Structure 1
């Protein structure tokens, strides 16, 4: 049997749930799941209507369907709903899916991927991830104004699908017993992780602001991601 969470972990989980960022994230997730359920129900209803119309057409124009036709229609409806449910099932977000995501889907996919990384993060990093998730939601509408293959879009992609995953990957590669030990520069890997996440949080906020005022050239020419690359290297060192 799996051991229950330690008391500090339970308290931290409760703090995340009641924090403004945690509440916003939980509400957003609930709304997203409700929309997914509504889409699933609508597709099943449309499938049922299509089957009913087909059954009516056969009965009226070809031959009476009888009880066998009704049973076949019911089986077809159940099979259609099962197929709809299978195709609509969400797949876990991965680094590969981040790189392949359309630009307007990237913030949502990144937020989902960050959520999947939460169990491996220390408590302060989890709080920073909450803040980044809120900023990503604010960024999403602004990305509709970007040319998907332009340099500004490349800057957004580099931050969300390359630099951010690299930062967390570098931290996960370090054995847990060494993550709080100071390294050659006097800082622990956990400290570097927190600093890197703080930089990313600021970068996402800056990008959102520049997108809102149409400063695409300024966004494209920023080189702050080099600082993140340095931090990632520090984690690995």
Structure 2
């Protein structure tokens, strides 16, 4: 877990303790607001770290000077502002039937936005799974640039991410709230939702691994070549 996640968890725990001390009714955590905030903070930290690392590498080759340091500071400010406001939180979530026709490269982001809009209606364990699915979609998104849009794998991704996932959450949303914790055939609708989202999260992770397989194989092969070619010349 990152320092950003630790900070967010600590803030939530503090809010819960304050509410309990005041004797008020349990307050539902504003997960939908905090979760996108956590993602924004992560993106800012990663971007700023990458800029500082690049500046360090350049500084080892040539002195940056005052102008170089000023340029790095401007880049840090620009990256922070950019990821603080992008993507906009008030962007309208697409309806689930539109997700079937979204461009493949944009599908993970559009589905993630739609899932965030459904968050308030879902139980806490399902909200936690939405966070994990969101992370999986963030990983999957840049990988889709090399996927043939009309290929078999693209069809599998579109069916799972653009059809099955939103349809499954929509089906749960149609169940009357008082019945969501009533057992039926050995399971409650809440339990069925969590189990189904777990399966979807694992399948998205498996798809991402399949897409990365060629790169992983290439990296391993190139590493063996470098060891064989240059390993004994030190």
TM-score of Structure 1 vs Structure 2, range by shorter chain: 0.5 to 0.7
Mapped to 1, the partners of 2:87 and 2:32 lie a distance apart of 28
**Cα 1:8/1:97, change in 2 over 3 Å:** farther
What is the CA–CA distance in structure 2 between the aligned matches of 1:36 and 1:14, rounded to whole Å?
A: 18
- Listed as ranges, the matches of 1:171-210 within 5 Å are 171-184=172-185, 186-210=186-210
- Distance change >3 Å, CA 33–CA 101, structure 1 → 2: farther
- Rounded to whole Å, the distance in 2 between the matches of 1:163 and 1:209 is 20
Using structure 1 for the length normalisation, give the TM-score: 0.58
Instruction: Tell me how far apart the structure 1 counterparts of residues 110 and 83 of structure 2 sit (CA, whole Å).
Output: 13
- CA offset at residue 165 of structure 1? 1.2
The answer for unaligned runs of 5 or more in structure 2 is 1-23, 45-80, 216-234
Structure 1 residue ranges without an equivalent (≥5):
1-5, 38-88, 216-237
Secondary structure in 2 aligned to 1:8?
A: coil
Distance (Å, rounded) in 2 between the aligned partners of 1:25 and 1:125: 21
Aligned pairs for 1:8-47 within 5 A: 8-10=26-28, 12-13=29-30, 17=34, 23-24=38-39, 31=82, 34-35=85-86
Structure 1 residue 90, shift from structure 2 partner: 3.9
C-alpha deviation, 1:96, in angstroms: 2.5
| Aligned-residue offset at 1:24 | 2.4
In 2, Cα distance between equivalents of 1:90 and 1:16: 14
CA, structure 1 residues 36+108, in 2 after alignment: closer, same or farther (shift >3 Å)?
Answer: closer
Tell me, in whole angstroms, the C-alpha distance in 1 between the residues paired with 2:121 and 2:193. Answer: 12
- DSSP 3-state at the match of 2:202: helix
Looking at CA atoms only, which structure, 1 or 2, has the larger radius of gyration?
Answer: 1
Secondary structure (helix, strand or coil) at the match of 2:191 reads helix
The answer to whether the 8 Å contact 1:104/1:144 transfers is: yes
Q: How many pairs are equivalent?
A: 156
| RMSD of aligned Cα (Å) | 3.1
> Alpha-carbon deviations, 1:126-166, whole Å to 9, x = none?
11101100110000111111100111000000001111012
TM-score by length of 2: 0.59
Q: How far apart, in 2, do the equivalents of 1:172 and 1:154 lie?
A: 26
Cα distance in 1 for residues equivalent to 2:129 and 2:112: 12
Distance in 2 between residues matched to 1:201 and 1:27, nearest whole Å = 21
Superposed displacement of residue 28, structure 1: 5.3
Partners of 2:25 and 2:103 in 1: how far apart? 41
